[in-house]
Structure 1
Amino acid sequence: MTGTVAPSALTAKPLTKEDFAPYGDVIEVSGAPDKIINQGKCGRHHDLAKLDFGTGQAGISLFDAEARNLPYTVELVERHPEGSQAFIPLDGVPMLVIVADDDNGKPANLRAFVSQPGQSINLHRGTWHGVLAPLGKAGRYAVVDRIGDGANLEEHWFSDPWIVEAAEG
């Protein structure tokens, strides 16, 4: 078609702490626990995410999200300038995690990750990210984020959507 711009393509890659570090924290158990508690019956992996609520306070919410599938169309990303936002799967459903760099107030260099069982994420304050997207089936998530006064949501709608495809292999 004349005048139509093809959507940009992204490949979803496995979520790793190293690759995700510029955008937030991967919260997962790895290695020996920091402390043994509860009469020696529980290992505590301590302080795994940098939570930042600015002038607000921490809130815990439960999200019920509809299933998404690959290929997946990204029409918008959002960010929360006043606080971090953590997503903790309650059903073991993997998430498609879309993040982007900030380029003078606009998202740039989108990246796509797929979480693995046992992984949660904490998005740093102000990080551009896609909406909650459980893969393959609906999922429930505990979300820890900022509750407080002031606007804490910015959205950016793409004039040409991005398409996220599965990694080969």
Structure 2
Amino acid sequence: MKIKAVPVSTIDFSKYGVYYDMNGGSANVWTSQGDGWKDARTNRSIINASGSLGITQGSALPCKVSKMERHLHTEEALFCLTDPIVVAIANGGDHKQPLPSEIEAVIIQPGEVIVLNKGIWHDACHGLHNPVRYYWLAEEYEGEPTEWVDICGGPVELHV
């Protein structure tokens, strides 16, 4: 199954979590500016716990995704450094595996942030045309189970 990545700003992201446009285009972002600077910040804590900051490098599109993970104990914020990132997401519901029919792929531009609700399936992020590094923020603790689960009937192929 092929899945085309679309800009995150073009979908109703509320079924997965919270979308922030830190470029000033979000109702849930406060902005200010002064002589030679502009500032944007979320109007609430980005996740509901003390978080650990991580950085990951993902492969470029097109790519095949055969496994996804979800966190039942924490939200996870994803944001890119300088290049757009693409992430496959799916609502977990009661399913023990992600279902291809429920997977969407979204493009996150610099200045955009997504915060995934607890239980949302996701893969590692990917670059549009080149490998990419991105930050994530989530509650971490020693012994946390990180389980990558096969996509039911997968893999899926992500492309732009």
Q: TM-score range, shorter-chain basis?
A: 0.7 to 0.9
- The percentage of counterpart residues that share the same residue type is 22
Structure 2: distance between partners of 1:157 and 1:131: 14
Residue 59 (1) aligns with residue 59 (2)? no
| Shift in alpha-carbon separation, 1:44–1:119, aligned structure 2, 3 A | closer
Match of 1:94 in 2: 84
Counterpart among 111, 120, 128 of residue 113 in structure 2: 120
For the pair shown, which has the larger CA radius of gyration, 1 or 2? 1
- SS in structure 2 at match of 1:122: strand
- Give 2:135's match in structure 1, choosing from 142, 145, 161: 142
CA deviation string 1:73-121 (max 9, x = no partner): 110111111111112212x211111111224233231111122332222
Residues 141-168 of structure 1: CA deviation (Å, up to 9, x unaligned): 22211122553423221343112232xx
Following superposition, the deviation at residue 68 of structure 1 comes to: 1.2
Counterpart of 2:158 (choices 153, 157, 164) is 164
Task: Tell me if 1:79 matches 2:70.
Answer: yes
RMSD: 2.8
Give 1:34 deviation, angstroms: 2.9
How far apart, in 2, do the equivalents of 1:112 and 1:41 lie? Answer: 33
Is the 8 Å Cα contact of residues 99 and 127 (structure 1) preserved in structure 2? yes
* 1:104 partnered with 2:94: yes
Kindly indicate which of the two structures has a greater share of residues assigned to strand. 1
Measured in 2, the distance between the counterparts of 1:49 and 1:80 equals 18
2:79 and 2:108 in contact (8 A); partners too: no
2:4 equivalent among 11, 16, 31: 11
Q: What is the alpha-carbon distance in structure 2 between the residues aligned to residue 10 and residue 21 of structure 1?
A: 20
Q: Which consecutive unaligned segments of at least 5 residues does structure 1 have?
A: 1-7
> Size of the alignment, in residue pairs?
153
* Structure 2 unaligned regions, length at least 5: none
